[in-house]
Amino acid sequence: MKKKSGIETQLQHFAEERSRYSGAVIPPIFQNSLFTFESWEDINRAFDDRVNSYIYTRGNNPTIELAEKKITELAGGERAKLFGSGMAAISAAVLHYLEPGDHIITIKNLYSPTSNLFNKYLKKKMNIEVSQVPGKDIEDFKNAIEKKTKLIYLESPSTAIFGLQNIKAAADLAKAEGIRTVIDNTWATPLFQRPLDMGIDIEVHSCSKYIGGHSDVVAGVIIGAEEDISDIYINEFELLGGKTAPFDAWLLIRSLRTLAMRMMKHQENALEIAYYLEDHPKIKRVNYPGIESHPQFELGKKQMTGYSGLMSFLLNTEDFDEIKSFVNSLDVFRIGVSWGGHESLVFAPAVSYIKELSPEQFDAMGITPGDIRISVGLEDSDDLIHDLDTALKSIT
Ligand SMILES: *Cc1c(COP(=O)(O)O)cnc(C)c1O
């Protein structure tokens, strides 16, 4: 029997049909909007099996399909569909399971555009009711179930405060109640966390983060069972039209080749920095699931095999000028939103939240003005620590 290749081998070679492309080691980009057919019968056959045929690039395209096959293999699903952004992927997955008047249970500290999608858009347009629970305890979800609950939506670790949910317990609970489950697995990547194996129906990622990893692509993906993903393909994907570009899919194929190496380095750097910050007198708390002081460290160890590079910490000051001065003193860490790329970034949620939210809302999200989020990149960890050390000296 042929040995099943390890994941690093798969990421290089899985689904590549090099003999079709003159042996080219990198697949070409199919930069075309449509595909032509030799005969009436041929196009007819394609329409009969549209999710597996190349007809028009709002549907399928060989470059996009190759990226999807690799991601499917990586996550251990049956089928994946790429979208033009993480939000396009999330909205398609969620709309698939909902009808007007349904109820969603999710966590309190969701990625904020997802929270706006649920609480503002879906509430208004489809009369969807949303219960946001702390999510640390499976009872939180159990107690929130109503007759009209159709979906439990998880984000673990959450990317605002890095709280975890017990994925297997949530999937089991949902199955027993006939409720479907979606998880945003962007933080951990399919490499470090396998929600489909734990019984989750659909796993979504913003590929703009680690899967892309080079800060040159905005894309999203959903992965799940053939039946669900094919159905989404025909409906929410083709009709709402949130497709990705062949060139972006090609960049993702490039990115996947180094995903395993990148994630190991993000983890190594992030752990080193988390321990450094934790011991620093000017830091009150570090929020990172990879260190023992995280309140759910044990759960994390059970359901993840590694940790990525996004974390936050609380400065020992609430003085705005000092917080500002800390952020402005960083040099290697660039100021920016997003995360998961090769470059280290810093973001003070206070910048965006203060404009939009009241102090009470800010508080409800579990964030205070002294919270600083960093995305630890692939640079030399000594340089990153030196950068943080220098900036922390700007706080009295
Ligand atoms: C960035 C992000 C998204 C949205 O992805 P886009 O590609 O920016 O649309 C969704 N979930 C999480 C956790 C994210 O960080």
CA of 111 to the centre of ligand 1 (A): 7
Ligand 1 in contact with 244 (CB < 6 A)? no
Backbone angles phi, psi at 172, to 5 degrees: -65, -45
pLDDT, one tens digit per residue, over 234-260 is 999 999 999 999 999 999 999 999 999
Tell me: do 94 and 238 sit in the same domain.
yes
**Which domain covers residue 80, as residue numbers?**
7-30+61-256
Q: Is residue 53 part of a domain?
A: no
pTM of the predicted model as reported, rounded to 2 decimal places: 0.96
CA-CA distances (angstroms) from residue 95 to 121, 122, 137, 196?
Answer: 11, 9, 26, 19
For ligand 1, the distance from its centroid to the CA atom of residue 43, given in whole angstroms, is: 37
Q: Which residues does the chain have with pLDDT short of 70?
A: 1, 352-357
Q: Are 232 and 81 in contact (CB under 8 A)?
A: yes
Of 218, 238, 256, the one marking the end of a domain is: 256
Same domain for 16 and 145?
yes
Residue minimizing CA distance to atom 5 of ligand 1: 86
Name which residue sits closest to atom 1 of ligand 1, judged by CA: 206
Q: How far apart are the CA of 88 and the centre of ligand 1, in A?
A: 10
Q: What is the CATH number of the domain that holds 324?
A: 3.90.1150.10
Distance 35 CA to ligand 1 centre (A): 32
Q: What pLDDT score does 170 carry?
A: 98
Question: Side chain identity at 237, as an amino acid letter?
Answer: F
How far apart, in Å, are the Cα atoms of 141 and each of 165, 191, 196, 293, 354? 10, 27, 19, 25, 30
Q: What pLDDT, on a 0 to 100 scale, did the predictor assign at position 353?
A: 65
Rounded distance between C-alpha atoms, residue 6 and residue 2, angstroms: 12
Tell me: do 272 and 197 sit in the same domain: no
What are the distances in angstroms from CA 344 to CA 18, 99, 158, 301, 307? 35, 41, 19, 25, 16
230 lines ligand 1 (CB under 6 A): no
Q: Return the sign of the alpha-carbon dihedral for residues 145, 149, 153, 158.
A: negative
State if residue 208 touches ligand 1 by the CB under 6 angstroms criterion: yes
Q: In terms of domains, do 228 and 270 share one?
A: no
pLDDT per position as a tens digit, 38-69: 999 999 999 999 999 999 999 999 999 999 99
